[in-house]
Chains A and B, each alone.
Chain A
């Protein structure tokens, strides 16, 4: 069975979409018509430019609406999230750690390379957490080490070895010119070169990082916007339990 879905404005299958963009042309009737044609060329019916404004010399801004016939088959959609439907609360996570690992879970986190933005790693690790989801430091069964910003990959690995970590969390916020890809790749390469890749559960996180990208780069999982310490803890616990089972 296929279930085609289209954007919904106010009637099923009307395909209504809202767009806004800038064109590098002067403000005026020609710019407006160019914007409308562009929306049509994108495949929208009833393309309508509802607002335009001059931005600067030679630049103009547009808000447009259009309707699309394009659909996706919802039944066929598969996602690759790190965690499934079941995400442990803090208390559940701690209970599972006690029961299945029988010791504290050791997690080391850092924002690596030259990236100075700790907001991501702090959201996952700080006591306070983010958006009413406590961070790993608050978990009684987690020993959390947040190394902060601009940590070289080498130092992160050495530190993880020194505290006998179960998991390494890496945050990358700055993504300009794909610097995060290079940084993330380097960590995995270093771990592999040292023969340490299998010793840790390694996760990446950041505003532009999803599970798919992280797995492609050789990570166990990736955590993007809308994920919290709960998701990270759930994944790490499940992966460790899984590994313990295969080794047993």
Chain B
């Protein structure tokens, strides 16, 4: 498609080159390290599951037992115990939950360890490949039934069983994507709770059982409605890789997953996040999951006009971090948001310019477009109009994943009728002007074209600066999102380990090979 915004290809290429240079040194650091949650994610892939009487998950129990030897990889101890005890994974999980220790068992010979590990890798692979195939079959069977962009709603009752009712209702009203919001505290927990949950604030816990319950309910809706319904959760916070694994095992379709969000907006340590996001993205890549990145957050904290370039710069970085983790362009739901002040003259033109700019720069990515939130006031009537304009901009510029704005944003978590009204709004607006985007060309010297070119130039200049400083120091000195995050600050640093010479992680090796990535061990 020719550029309607007259964006110079060499400047886009320059931004990509800068992103690649910015990410490279971080990638070297990542490949030399592991974390407690990468190890726990690996154990989950190898079948470790359940929790002890105090609710401590089995993967945590194992990692805590071998905390001083994590540089070797926690999997060795798990596999060794399977070989030595003759237990299956469920049996060993129960035994560990009962207090059994894995760290004192003499190591079996390397050949039997490798053989056992190969068996576990193969079992996980079968399940994840099976999930991926099932999704592809369903999408093929119901091709053309989803909206474009995909209409995305959230459920956030704080009780998984109530969430199921809301999700079924939303699906029957036309939602293509349902995201189950997590409880607000979960991103800072260094474990993933076990089992179905009926509590939480602003959402309930992401647990594997909750994933399974929601997937089963939505699959029934898929059959009933003759339309695929995508399920989304959050591979973010201190357990990014583990949640990615749970999503892979239970066939989630999308994961909120950003390379820097945890650092900037949750004050999680940067080393920890960089290592965690890589493994989580490898798992997402393998499972055919579409990631949704969190650039909208830059605009809820800073001004959407002044800081538009930070969104584009972050998209380039997220793209590069995704690429080196094996994600294909169709899996990169790069984020942005419709957050300009409604009182700004020509604000809508600027929104269209930026949305179309993202579309042209990332032609294959299913861009994730976030609705107005910052200027939603409680005036539900104006809110409907703001959302209608957002819907208009999204369809006009060919976005991929469209999170529906709620008229009651800033008042309460959505009522069932709020979601219905949002879906009706989107279906009306997007249907009524479906082909308008194809009819429009923009004046080469007009507001829209000039704005898009300006933001691109500002993003390139910003990336030049970050490249000069180095990404980690750029974050430490507050170049992103107006916050300073020191290298050694933030949560979760004590869970970081340098990989030893003998680090053993056959799952990582398998993923590296499957995804055609260089490096790794």
Among B157-195, those with CB < 8 Å from A are: 158, 168-170, 172-173, 184-185, 187-188
Among A101-146, those with CB < 8 Å from B are: 114-116, 118-119, 122, 126, 128, 131-132
Q: Does A181 contact B (CB under 8 A)?
A: no
Contact, CB under 8 Å: B417 / A116: no
Q: Which residues on B sit within 8 Å (CB–CB) of A179?
A: 201
Q: Which residues on A sit within 8 Å (CB–CB) of B286?
A: none
What is the 8 Å Cβ interface bit string for chain B, positions 404-423, against chain A (1 contact, 0 not)?
00000011010111001000
Q: Does A213 contact B (CB under 8 A)?
A: no
Q: Which residues on A sit within 8 Å (CB–CB) of B378?
A: 207, 225
Q: Does A56 contact B (CB under 8 A)?
A: yes
Contact, CB under 8 Å: A116 / B265: yes
Contact, CB under 8 Å: A116 / B416: no
B424 CB to nearest chain A CB (Å)? 8
Give chain B's interface secondary structure class. loop
A94 CB to nearest chain B CB (Å)? 23
Q: Residues on B close to A: CB < 8 A? A: 158, 168-170, 172-173, 184-185, 187-188, 200-202, 265-267, 300-303, 341, 343, 373-375, 377-378, 410-411, 413, 415-417, 420, 483
Interface centre among A53, A55, A116, A128 (most CB of B within 10 A): A55
Contact, CB under 8 Å: B188 / A114: yes
A176 CB to nearest chain B CB (Å)? 5
Q: Does A22 contact B (CB under 8 A)?
A: yes
- CB < 8 Å neighbour of A176 from B158, B169, B300, B301: B158
Q: What is the size category of the interface that chain A forms with chain B? A: 20 to 34
13 CB-based A-B contacts, threshold 8 Å? A20-B417, A55-B173, A56-B172, A57-B168, A57-B172, A59-B169, A114-B184, A114-B188, A116-B184, A119-B301, A174-B201, A176-B201, A207-B378
| Complex-state Cα separation, A149 to B173, whole angstroms | 35
Q: Which residues on A sit within 8 Å (CB–CB) of B201?
A: 114, 174, 176-177, 179
| Complex-state Cα separation, A131 to B343, whole angstroms | 9
Contact, CB under 8 Å: A56 / B168: yes
| Complex-state Cα separation, A126 to B482, whole angstroms | 10
Q: Which 6 A-B pairs have the closest CB atoms?
A: A56-B169, A114-B185, A22-B417, A176-B201, A61-B417, A179-B201
Contact, CB under 8 Å: B300 / A119: yes
Q: Which residues on A sit within 8 Å (CB–CB) of B202?
A: 174, 176
- Given A55-B173, A149-B265, list of 17 further CB < 8 A pairs? A22-B415, A55-B417, A55-B420, A56-B168, A56-B170, A56-B173, A56-B420, A114-B184, A114-B188, A122-B301, A148-B483, A150-B267, A174-B202, A179-B201, A207-B378, A207-B410, A207-B411
| Complex-state Cα separation, A131 to B300, whole angstroms | 13
Smallest CB gap from A117: residue in B: B184
B226 CB to nearest chain A CB (Å)? 16
Q: Which residues on B sit within 8 Å (CB–CB) of A56?
A: 168-170, 172-173, 416, 420
Contact, CB under 8 Å: A150 / B420: no
Q: Which residues on A sit within 8 Å (CB–CB) of B170?
A: 56
- CB < 8 Å neighbour of A116 from B158, B187, B343: B187
A116 CB to nearest chain B CB (Å)? 6
B158 CB to nearest chain A CB (Å)? 6
Q: Which residues on B sit within 8 Å (CB–CB) of A149?
A: 265-267
| Complex-state Cα separation, A226 to B343, whole angstroms | 16
| Complex-state Cα separation, A148 to B201, whole angstroms | 19
Contact, CB under 8 Å: B266 / A176: no
Q: Which residues on A sit within 8 Å (CB–CB) of B301?
A: 118-119, 122, 126
Among A38-61, those with CB < 8 Å from B are: 53, 55-57, 59, 61
Smallest CB gap from B170: residue in A: A56
B270 CB to nearest chain A CB (Å)? 16
B288 CB to nearest chain A CB (Å)? 29
Among A165-192, those with CB < 8 Å from B are: 174, 176-177, 179
